Structure 1
Amino acid sequence: MAIILHLETATTNCSVSISKDDEIVVLKENNAASYSHSEQLHLFIKEALEEASLSFSDLDAVAISKGPGSYTGLRIGVSSAKGLCFSLDLPLISVPTLQSMAHQLQLKSDELVIPVLDARRMEVYSCVYDAAYKEVRDTRAEVINEESFTEYVSGNKVYIVGSGAEKCRGVLQHPNFVFDVSVVPSAKDMAPIAFKKYEAGQFEDVAYFEPYYLKDFVLQQKKKKN
């Protein structure tokens, strides 16, 4: 049996879970309006271990949601995961954030899901998955317009889910689009992906692993008053 600690910090949801193989046994999370990961993440890890009656020495691996998402949130999560892996000599598993979001839906064989995370202005981070959660189209940062994702709606329902769904709803008019803004990245959905990678020995190099930012970080500076 593999006991895996999962950390999800790509958005405002600070989320920690522990799984035994691919089944979640404990979940601790708080989707606050502002980022609270630096205050809550390590507390949630401690509480999750206690609730599962486990210690750090019982862990077999640490899984981290690798992005795309918030620059600051990803940095905090990855730094914490790498610190645990170094100190406990554990393998590190990375889970694509958008893929774990897709796992929140159970689709019919001809349906698709497009997780979308809100970026600046009319831009989103997106990826297209089929009913088996396989990539139909790769992860991109893209500006939403009336033609976005229309190549996927011929005869199929296409679920657009995540924080960018409301932005898409205002532009995309095809009746086969279904929008759900309530889907947020959560550590509860990481276990199936992480356990599959654990069995296959698909681990990251702890020393060199970096989050998948997708875009360069841009520091927003306040304008000087005249």
Structure 2
Amino acid sequence: MKVLGIETSGNIGGISLCENQQCIITKTFSGIVQHERELVPAIKDALEEAHWQINDIEVIAVNVGPGSYTGLRIGVTCAKTLGYALNRPVVDVPIFDIIAENYHSDGTLSLCPIIDARRKHVYACVYLFEGNRKKRLTEFLVIEPEKLLALLPRPVTIFGDGIPLYKEIFSQEDIIIEAEYYAIPKPEHVALLGEKLYVSGYQCALEKLLPLYLQR
């Protein structure tokens, strides 16, 4: 199965072509203002390098956030347009699942990406490691840091740009704070997760495809 993954949720955007759970090619670009200009050319260049025709794409996966409002709209609009034009299924992938794929258990049993939501809140989702798989223990949260602290299982590994602002709250003996680069979403994880979701029977109705803002 040939999948296009689209990532435009933050400053570093990108696309990835994957086939049967193998990444074929990934292209990245920086700057939210660049996403609108560089997204479509990046897809075109990647297709040429992979020797794919645009009609070879069988599934389109897109990071729906939460993240940059402008960036998310660009990615979702592109995915929706391609879905309609090619008559292909589109899979919406939340950023928490995407960045959770950056981290592999070092012995801790739980993981929580934490993203700054502003207004003294964070976005978060708690995962439990089950072998090589990660199972969601919570819904996608918009929550005050103190309340999230009370929800976290222990020990737990956390990372994300929502931590530095509240480091005094999260600096606990049984909480491992990892490097912030783990919170950078990778286009290849968008594509790989999108393929897994589609194979499991999931896809998003195009008319309902929207960025996941979680709050107004």
Supply the distance in 2 between the matched residues of 1:91 and 1:151 (Cα, whole angstroms). 36
Q: Relative to 1, partners in 2 of residues 1:171 and 1:44: Cα closer, same or farther, differing over 3 Å?
A: same
Shift of 1:121: 4.3
Supply the distance in 1 between the matched residues of 2:166 and 2:104 (Cα, whole angstroms). 21
Q: Relative to 1, partners in 2 of residues 1:116 and 1:128: Cα closer, same or farther, differing over 3 Å?
A: same
Supply the distance in 2 between the matched residues of 1:215 and 1:21 (Cα, whole angstroms). 35
1:215: which partner in 2? 215
**Which one-letter code corresponds to 1:134 in the other structure?**
K
What is the Cα-based RMSD across aligned positions, in Å? 1.8
For 1:102-147, what per-residue CA distance to the aligned partner results, in whole angstroms no more than 9, with x for missing partners? Answer: 01111156521111222214322111111122111111112223x5
Instruction: Say whether the 8 Å CA contact 2:6–2:14 is kept in structure 1.
Output: yes
Q: Any gaps of 5 or more consecutive residues in structure 2?
A: none
For 1:145-196, what per-residue CA distance to the aligned partner results, in whole angstroms no more than 9, with x for missing partners? Answer: 3x53344343x2x221222232242421212222221121121222332122
2:170: which partner in 1? 172
Instruction: Say whether the 8 Å CA contact 1:114–1:161 is kept in structure 2.
Output: yes
SS of the residue corresponding to residue 66 of structure 2 reads coil
**Which one-letter code corresponds to 1:115 in the other structure?**
P
Supply the distance in 2 between the matched residues of 1:67 and 1:27 (Cα, whole angstroms). 19
1:223: which partner in 2? none
**Among 128, 131, 134, the residue aligned to 1:130:** 128
Instruction: Say whether the 8 Å CA contact 1:7–1:15 is kept in structure 2.
Output: yes
Q: Any gaps of 5 or more consecutive residues in structure 1?
A: 217-226
SS of the residue corresponding to residue 169 of structure 2 reads coil
- Alignment: residue pair count: 211
SS of the residue corresponding to residue 19 of structure 1 reads strand
Instruction: Say whether the 8 Å CA contact 1:164–1:181 is kept in structure 2.
Output: no
Supply the distance in 1 between the matched residues of 2:34 and 2:162 (Cα, whole angstroms). 21
Supply the distance in 2 between the matched residues of 1:87 and 1:176 (Cα, whole angstroms). 50
Supply the distance in 2 between the matched residues of 1:208 and 1:19 (Cα, whole angstroms). 25
Supply the distance in 2 between the matched residues of 1:36 and 1:103 (Cα, whole angstroms). 25
SS of the residue corresponding to residue 188 of structure 2 reads helix
Instruction: Say whether the 8 Å CA contact 1:6–1:63 is kept in structure 2.
Output: yes
Supply the distance in 1 between the matched residues of 2:140 and 2:165 (Cα, whole angstroms). 18
Identity across the alignment (%):
28
SS of the residue corresponding to residue 148 of structure 2 reads coil
Supply the distance in 2 between the matched residues of 1:215 and 1:151 (Cα, whole angstroms). 20
Greater relative contact order, per chain length (Cα 8 Å cut-off, separation 6+)? 2
